[in-house]
Amino acid sequence: MSQSVVKNISINQLRPGMIVKKIIEQNGSVKVTSSGRVSSEDVIQALKKKGVKKLQVELPRQDGPASANVSSKKQSTAKTTFAAEIVTAEKLHRKGKYIQKVLLNAVSKGLAFDEQIPREFSQQLVASMDRNPDALLCLTKIKEKDDYLLEHSLNVAIILANFARHIGMDNEAIQELAYAGFLHDLGKIQIDDAILHKPGRLTDVEMEEMKKHVTYGVEALKSATIAPHLIRVVSEHHERLDGRGYPLGKQAEDISQDGRMLAIADMFDALTADRCYKAGMSSQKAIKILLSEAPERLDKALLDQFIKCMGVFPVGSLVKLSNQKLAMVLKQNASLAKPVVKVFYSLGGNHFLEPKDIDLSTDDRIHIEQAVVASDYNIDFNTFFHRMVQV
């Protein structure tokens, strides 16, 4: 007979087959006091609706489905190489775009969505980051100009997970923040395309309508019974410390740390993204703009940490080398100006090269001259990405 172990978990870690010993934390007026085995997913959803947040459960130590789940989770987060993880990461990235499409479609029709699907996906993202963060970070730079709405929140979730890991947040907090990032821009589907995709400056009336996307998104999340603390984070991604953000004009002391982190990640990805009407700017230019917003509008301490975790030349970004070749940043080094790069294009010959990895921290003959974007050289970078990462 197998022994059991008692463990405190969040409601999002609860699975059918686990035995609930007692409720540790719960919101709402209807209190749950009974214990017993969780027979189905419906029971878990019922507990969520009653505001249950944390529970004490009994897990089998050696056999049984709960034990298998724990073991599988440990195996799935074992460290691995970039080459091994990029295969899984690419599949996750495609899956994330599909889930975003489903969510946006539901919101556009005023329908509630099943929050378990995007939540579990966010957990899978974090697991991939635990195995090798560079794979998914690299994919945030592979952007289609017509897929901005699908890619933006997915990329923000990835960037936030990396940010949260860097500042030492625990795994559950990282998953929650990534989840908030994944959901943060759903309200944009309610904005008229003529405003959403307008290439020029918005009029005052158009800007007021654009600002409503935050409120639309919050309303959609409430309909899907998303946890209040996550809705708060989403609601704050356009608030600024000087009180001149929106929709509520919150000031510094009223904006949560998670909200401040989401604001930084959201702005960074938006600046570097390709749109149907313009090419994204280089990561280096985007970081300069972010720095110009601190400390008045963005949290300077958090922004400094963000730059340290992303690097001066973030993973996946393109750089021009002193030997007149283009390369993609693969991995950060202790010296942020000397990452590991994959060389792939000759500017002198105007042709693609057989991709080759170079660690700039160990090669003093070559250095980065500047960050660039593929459109500067009329290169269809996405076409060659899959070949590059497999070499």
Looking at residue 70, what is its pLDDT?
A: 32
> Looking at domain 81-310, does it have CATH number 1.10.10.10?
no
Q: What is the pTM of this model?
A: 0.79
Q: Domain-by-domain residue ranges, the chain?
A: 4-74, 81-310, 318-390
Looking at residue 64, what is its pLDDT?
A: 35
156 Cβ contact partners less than 8 Å away, ≥ 6 residues apart: 181, 182, 184, 185, 262, 265, 266, 269
Residues 156, 263 contacting (CB under 8 angstroms)? no
> Closest by alpha carbon to 86, among 265, 313, 316?
316
* DSSP label at residue 303: H
pLDDT in tens, the chain (391 residues): 344 567 888 887 777 667 888 888 888 765 666 667 776 666 787 788 888 888 888 764 433 333 333 333 433 568 999 989 999 999 999 999 999 999 999 999 998 888 999 999 999 999 999 999 999 999 998 777 678 999 999 999 999 999 999 999 999 999 999 999 999 999 999 999 999 999 889 999 999 999 999 999 999 999 998 999 999 999 999 999 999 999 999 999 999 999 999 999 999 999 999 887 788 899 999 999 999 999 999 999 999 999 999 998 999 999 999 999 999 999 999 888 999 999 999 999 999 999 999 999 999 999 999 999 988 898 887 777 766 665 4
What are the backbone dihedrals phi and psi of residue 69, each rounded to the nearest 5 degrees, phi first? -65, -45
Distance CA 3, CA 59 (A): 9
Looking at residue 67, what is its pLDDT?
A: 32
